[in-house]
Amino acid sequence: MNNARSHDLFSRAQALMPGGVNSPVRAFKSVGGEPFFVQRADGPHLFDVDGNRYIDYVGSWGPMIVGHNHPQVLDAVIETSRNGLSFGTPNPLEVTMAETIARLIPSCEMVRMVNSGTEATLSAIRLARGATGRNRIVKFEGCYHGHGDSFLVKAGSGALTFGVPTSPGVPKALADLTLTLTYNDFDGATKLFEECGSDIAGLIVEPVVGNANCLPPREGYLQHLRDLCTQHGALLIFDEVMTGFRVALGGAQARYGVAPDLSTFGKVIGGGMPVGAYGGRRELMQQIAPSGPIYQAGTLSGNPVAMAAGLTMLELVQAPGFYEALEAKTNALCDGLEAAARDAGVAFTTQRVGGMFGMFFTDQIVDTFAQAMACDSAAFNRFFHAMLERGVYLAPSAYEAGFMSSAHDDAAIAATVQAAREAFASL
């Protein structure tokens, strides 16, 4: 595979951009090697600057659920752009977007548009703190909620100790306010709320964890978190930046039948444009400025071109049978990968939920963060490169979920499984 142009671009990028990238995981640090630079994308494929084609299971980290360069999304963006790129005034598409989200996600009685998932989660915890008058928040080890200070925190030596910053620049005083739990541990959550439930403003969780590979909730786990929050007067926040419009039309909250107080969105909702949103119960959302005192704002929030892309995406995913077909594709891929691994004698398993999936180099069923971390990441890294050489792009980390799109047809999935047969054999 010729990578001369990508290599040259990466050298230039490294001279001027930290790590040569604008977002860390793109740099291939975890899998080794150098990233490729993409010229264009279409349907299930990426095409790099050296003319190589890849079947893409990253999908811009989630947004491209109908495939790249979808003609209707593209048309909406072009048409809307003709009227101007940004007005800084209310525009009609924002209203349609709010109506669409409120209809598709009933727990979101009101919504506020922002420009990224990070902004959505930052705003949601400010609201939780402002509305409850409490300062502590609870998150789960292995869940990622963007790069806000309160989220860049890991557990101290025990579950009930203060959180520890995972990045320089996060004040210890702020990290102290973040408590950390183990996902899918029922008793740990009960114990934490018994000890300090009355101090907790909100608990934020990826209802299906997509940032520690792919971990579905154990039966009843999300309801358990719902019950604890209700009992202790804390707000339950589902971070559906990844799962929203991905694991079901109504997100994980529809799939598992548990309604949070607040939800955050990103990725699919923007159709590939920089968009996030948060929403929830009316009496909570009304506390946001200007109807209430809790401040949050954005120069480009509700941008008309971004709204046009997102609204078109949300129309496309409402097509009858869209999620059933997407899930069938995910299952076909994961079943094919598991069979290929079995035939090659490689310990390997998958998890799938709707249009997202995880790959684990282990012979165990994996549904906790500790189990995900215990998998053979060196085997994953070799597999990643063996697949890349064969024209298949997986997330460049053993700890990221994969994403299916409706543009991945039978041929693309069959070609992926065939590449996997060769890749597993080469391990």
**Catalytic pick from 48, 185, 239, 261?**
239
Residue type, 421: R
* Nearby residues of 270 by Cβ (< 8 Å), 6 or more positions away: 63, 276, 306, 309, 310, 313
To the nearest whole angstrom, how small is the minimum distance from the Cβ of residue 153 to ligand PMP?
Answer: 15
Q: Which residue in the shown chain puts its C-beta closest to ligand PMP?
A: 117
**CA separation for the pair 393, 269 (Å, rounded):** 23
Give the 3-state DSSP-derived string for 273-326, with helices as H, strands as E and coil as C: ECCEEEEECHHHHCCECCCCCECCCCCCCCCHHHHHHHHHHHHHHCCCCHHHHH
For ligand PMP, which is the closer residue by CB, 182 or 418?
A: 182
Per the listing, tokens 């401040």 go with 295
Query: Catalytic: 172?
Result: no
28, containing H or E segment: none
Per the listing, tokens 């995972």 go with 166
To the nearest whole angstrom, how small is the minimum distance from the Cβ of residue 240 to ligand PMP?
Answer: 8
Asked whether the beta carbons of 114 and 183 are under 8 A apart, the reply is no
**Catalytic pick from 261, 267, 323, 399?**
267
To the nearest whole angstrom, how small is the minimum distance from the Cβ of residue 85 to ligand PMP?
Answer: 20
Query: Catalytic: 149?
Result: no
For ligand PMP, which is the closer residue by CB, 197 or 261?
A: 261
* Residue 424 CB-half CA count within 13 A: 23
3-state secondary structure of 257: coil
To the nearest whole angstrom, how small is the minimum distance from the Cβ of residue 277 to ligand PMP?
Answer: 11
Query: Catalytic: 176?
Result: no
- Considering Cα of 48, then 52, then 53, then 56, what sign does the dihedral take? negative
For ligand PMP, which is the closer residue by CB, 244 or 336?
A: 244
Give the 3-state DSSP-derived string for 274-287, with helices as H, strands as E and coil as C: CCEEEEECHHHHCC
For ligand PMP, which is the closer residue by CB, 113 or 420?
A: 113
To the nearest whole angstrom, how small is the minimum distance from the Cβ of residue 266 to ligand PMP?
Answer: 4
For ligand PMP, which is the closer residue by CB, 212 or 259?
A: 212
**Catalytic pick from 144, 221, 278, 399?**
144
**CA separation for the pair 114, 123 (Å, rounded):** 9
Q: For the stretch 171-207, what's the b/e string if a residue is b when 16 or more beta carbons lie within 10 angstroms of its beta carbon?
A: eeebbbbbbbbbbbbeebbeebbeeebeebbbbbbbb
For ligand PMP, which is the closer residue by CB, 57 or 144?
A: 144
Alpha helix locations (H) across 46-199? Answer: 71-81, 92-104, 117-132, 172-175, 186-196
Binding-site ranges for ligand PMP (CB under 6 A) = 61, 116-118, 121, 144-146, 206, 210-211, 239, 241-242, 266, 276
To the nearest whole angstrom, how small is the minimum distance from the Cβ of residue 83 to ligand PMP?
Answer: 26
For ligand PMP, which is the closer residue by CB, 146 or 260?
A: 146
To the nearest whole angstrom, how small is the minimum distance from the Cβ of residue 403 to ligand PMP?
Answer: 11
Catalytic residues: 144, 239, 267
